[in-house]
């Protein structure tokens, strides 16, 4: 099934329309550009101001903003955004109509956008795994049902596979779009509201100390602290260049400074900074008076609880909203009254797509007590992960070998493999849902033991 006409990736909340089954149009390719009778597909590197193709980058940014219902970008915002994309070495795909209608947007304005770039994902191994990230997918609603989304996605995944990436990943606005391309939801976050009136107390006071800081400090501090989080947290995705400006408020909505953003840092017992939070007050008209967390990064559990202890102590505030809390939140167990935490929503966050089964699972980390083997039979409509594979784990490492399908103990689609990959989803739950089919009795239990994560899985990066 195709699903076009609205933003498909980057953030959450947009709606899309379901379309008829579709096939990709026949194309003619020249370099980074290909054409059909109706469209020109062009892929090019993002360019900063003063570089060749910067005008194409600016037009792409305006189309992307329109797709996500953002305001039209001014020159300063366009230049800043283009510079960030270029610094991230993002590859942009723009789709142009060959037959613009009179008075409609011109042929130089993309009807669809797509971006991809490399960042690492912590998969629990000794080093983070380079991953192919996909973002900014939009298709103008007046050009849906033409196979544009399918064409952009399949071309990009083919390029990622040829480049040797073991996995691809994205975050999504619609949960129904991406399984058919082999992506499965691998991590979740909780959107929570925490009551911080006089009842807010921790069972044990947090160690360390928290102090207010100038939000501008986060331009240099936030990447350093996040690097510490990224090293220790499976499911974490390394951040792109726009993050420091966003979390500090210096690059706010429409490219203007958000002066409502405040910040605080947590110091451990030695005086080293091991966490920070940026936040904003939602105004006196909001009842109860509420703080909204912009970003909260902690490299230790003590820093996480210390930052929450600070948020709970801010005068005149009765509620704190946070949209990226971990599924197994230690705050709930640290509070005298755990009922102060209300979960507003449980949101799928990172969607994973395995492109190379052997490379992906041999790069992954395994617990010291994980030992054994299981044979997986994987179905992949695009072919990249198709086949049977013997996963053998010992001493915290895995070896993956090709196997015969007649030896299969578990059968699954590649999107299920992506969901299982990080260890944040229990294989027994997927089996109960009818998505993981046990051929050999006991195989689900064995896989559950093998894929247990080395630490709780949690990611806090938007892209």
Check which CATH number belongs to the domain holding 153 and give it: 3.40.630.30
Q: Which of 384, 389, 326 is nearest to 353 (CA)?
A: 384
| Same domain? 232 vs 158 | no
Distance spanning both ends of the chain, measured CA to CA: 25
Residue 281 domain-assigned (yes or no): yes
| Mean pLDDT within 231-238 | 98
Instruction: Classify residue 247 as exposed, middle or buried by CB count within 10 Å of its CB (0-12, 13-18, 19+).
Output: buried
194: which strand partners? 320, 341
pLDDT tens-digit profile of 409-450? Answer: 999 999 999 999 999 999 999 999 999 999 999 999 999 999
Instruction: Flag whether 49 is in a domain.
Output: yes
- At 35 the pLDDT is 66
- Return the structure tokens found at 53: 């193709």
- Residue 240, classified by CB atoms within 10 Å of its CB into exposed (0-12), middle (13-18) or buried (19+), is buried
- 247 vs 103, residue with greater confidence: 247
Distance between CA 105 and CA 215 in Å, rounded?
Answer: 40
Decide which of 312, 328, 348 is a domain's last residue.
348
196-208 pLDDT, tens digit each: 999 999 999 999 9
- Are both 217 and 148 inside the same structural domain? no
Candidate list 39, 41, 226, 463, residue with the active-site label: 463
Q: How does residue 9 score in pLDDT terms, banded at 50, 70 and 90?
A: low
For the beta sheet containing 112-121, the strands, ordered from the edge strand earlier in sequence to the opposite edge, are 28-30, 33-35, 39-45, 91-97, 112-121, 129-139, 167-170, 351-354, 184-185
Number of domains into which the chain is organized? 3
Residue that terminates a domain, selected from 153, 181, 209: 181
Instruction: Kindly report the number of other CB atoms within 10 A of residue 117's CB atom.
Output: 19
Q: Note whether 195 and 145 are same-domain residues.
A: no
pLDDT of residue 15: 29
Establish if 159 belongs to a structural domain.
yes
Report which secondary-structure segment, H or E, holds 428.
helix 427-432
CA angle 172, 177, 179 (to 5 degrees): 100
Average model confidence (pLDDT) across the chain: 93
Are 295 and 224 within one domain?
A: yes
339 and 224 share a domain? yes
Instruction: Supply the pTM of this predicted model.
Output: 0.91
User: pLDDT (tens digit, 9 = 90+) per residue, 148-191?
Assistant: 999 999 999 999 999 999 999 999 988 899 999 999 999 999 99
Question: Which whole number is the average pLDDT over 119-135?
Answer: 98
Considering 178, 200, 226, 384, which one is annotated as catalytic?
178
Classify residue 202 by its DSSP letter. Answer: B
d(C-alpha 12, C-alpha 347), whole Å: 9
Q: Per-residue pLDDT for 23 more than 50?
A: no
Q: Taking a C-beta distance cutoff of 8 angstroms, is the pair 401, 336 a contact?
A: no
| 146 domain residue, yes or no | yes
For the chain, percent of residues with pLDDT exceeding 70:
93
User: What's phi and psi for 296, nearest 5 deg?
Assistant: -135, 115
DSSP code of residue 106: P
Quote the percentage of the chain above a pLDDT of 90: 87
* Position 456 in a domain: no
Q: Supply the pLDDT for residue 6.
A: 40
The range of the structural domain enclosing residue 129 comes to 3-181
Q: Are residues 438 and 293 in the same domain?
A: no
Q: Are 367 and 354 contacting, i.e. CB atoms less than 8 angstroms apart? A: no
Same domain, 97 and 202: no
Can you give the CATH number for the domain in which 423 is found? 3.30.1050.10
Cα–Cα nearest to 417, from 460, 379, 368: 379
Task: Please tell me whether residues 154 and 219 are part of one structural domain.
Answer: no
Based on the domain organization, do 376 and 280 belong to the same domain?
Answer: no
Answer yes or no: do 305 and 395 share one domain: no
CB 388 within 8 A of CB 375: yes
Residue 240 counted as domain residue: yes
Cα 438 to chain center, whole Å? 30
Over the stretch 309-323, which tens digit does the pLDDT of each residue have?
A: 999 999 999 999 999
Under DSSP, is residue 108 helix (H, G, I), strand (E, B) or coil?
Answer: coil
Residue 3 DSSP SS3: strand
Q: Is the pLDDT of residue 193 over 80?
A: yes
CA 55-58-59 angle, 5° bins: 90
Quote the pLDDT of residue 36: 73
Domain membership of residue 455 (yes or no) is no
Which of 297, 322, 348 represents a domain boundary (last residue)? Answer: 348
Which pLDDT value is given to residue 138? 96
Q: Which of 298, 240, 264, 454 is nearest to 364 (CA)?
A: 454
Q: 334 and 200: one domain?
A: yes
Residues 361 and 344 in one domain: no
463 given a catalytic annotation: yes
Residue 308 C-alpha from the chain's centroid: 24
Q: What angle do CA 175, 177, 178 make, to 5 degrees?
A: 90
Confidence at residue 58, expressed as pLDDT on a 0 to 100 scale: 97
Does any domain span residue 462? no
Residue 243 appears among annotated catalytic residues: no
- The 10 Å CB-count burial string (b at 16+, else e) for 4-35 is bbbbbbbebebebeebeebebbeeeeeeeebb
């Amino acid at each position: 099934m195709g699903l076009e006409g609205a933003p498909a990736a980057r953030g959450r909340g947009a709606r899309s329309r379901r379309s008829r089954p579709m096939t990709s149009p026949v194309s003619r390719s020249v370099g980074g550009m290909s054409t059909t009778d109706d469209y020109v597909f062009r892929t090019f590197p993002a360019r900063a101001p003063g570089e060749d193709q910067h005008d194409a980058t600016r037009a792409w940014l305006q189309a992307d903003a329109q797709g996500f219902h953002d305001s039209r970008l001014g020159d300063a915002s366009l230049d800043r955004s283009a510079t960030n994309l270029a610094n991230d070495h993002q590859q942009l795909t723009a789709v142009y109509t060959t037959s613009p209608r009179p008075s409609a947007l011109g042929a130089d304005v993309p009807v669809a956008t797509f971006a991809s770039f490399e960042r690492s994902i912590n998969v629990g191994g000794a080093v983070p795994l380079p991953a192919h990230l996909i973002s900014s997918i939009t298709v103008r609603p007046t050009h849906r049902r033409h196979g544009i989304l399918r064409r952009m996605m399949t071309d990009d995944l083919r390029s990622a596979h040829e480049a040797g990436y073991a996995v691809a990943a994205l975050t999504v606005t619609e949960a129904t779009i991406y399984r058919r391309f082999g992506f499965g939801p691998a991590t979740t976050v909780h959107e929570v509201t925490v009551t911080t009136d006089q009842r807010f107390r921790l069972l044990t006071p947090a160690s360390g100390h928290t102090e207010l800081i100038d939000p501008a400090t986060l331009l240099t501090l936030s990447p350093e602290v996040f690097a510490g989080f990224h090293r220790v947290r499976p499911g974490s995705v390394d951040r792109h260049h726009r993050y420091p400006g966003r979390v500090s408020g210096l690059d706010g909505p429409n490219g203007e400074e958000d002066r409502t953003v405040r910040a605080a840092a947590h110091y451990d017992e030695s005086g080293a900074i091991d966490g920070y939070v940026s936040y904003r007050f939602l105004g006196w008209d909001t009842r109860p008076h509420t703080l909204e967390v912009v970003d909260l990064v902690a490299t230790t559990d003590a820093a996480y609880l210390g930052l929450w202890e600070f948020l709970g102590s801010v005068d005149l505030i009765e509620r704190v909203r946070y949209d990226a809390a971990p599924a197994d939140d230690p705050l709930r167990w640290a509070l005298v009254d755990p009922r102060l935490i209300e979960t507003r929503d449980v949101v799928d966050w990172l969607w994973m797509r395995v492109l190379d089964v052997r490379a992906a699972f041999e790069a992954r980390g395994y617990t010291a007590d994980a030992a054994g083997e299981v044979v997986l039979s994987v179905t992949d409509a695009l072919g990249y992960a198709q086949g049977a594979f013997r996963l053998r784990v010992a001493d915290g490492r895995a070896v993956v070998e090709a196997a015969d399908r007649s030896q299969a103990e578990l059968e699954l689609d590649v999107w299920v493999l992506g969901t299982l990959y990080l260890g944040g989803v229990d294989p027994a739950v997927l089996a109960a849902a009818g998505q993981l089919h046990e051929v050999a009795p006991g195989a689900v239990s064995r896989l559950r033991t093998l894929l247990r994560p080395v630490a709780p899985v949690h990611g806090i990066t938007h892209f």
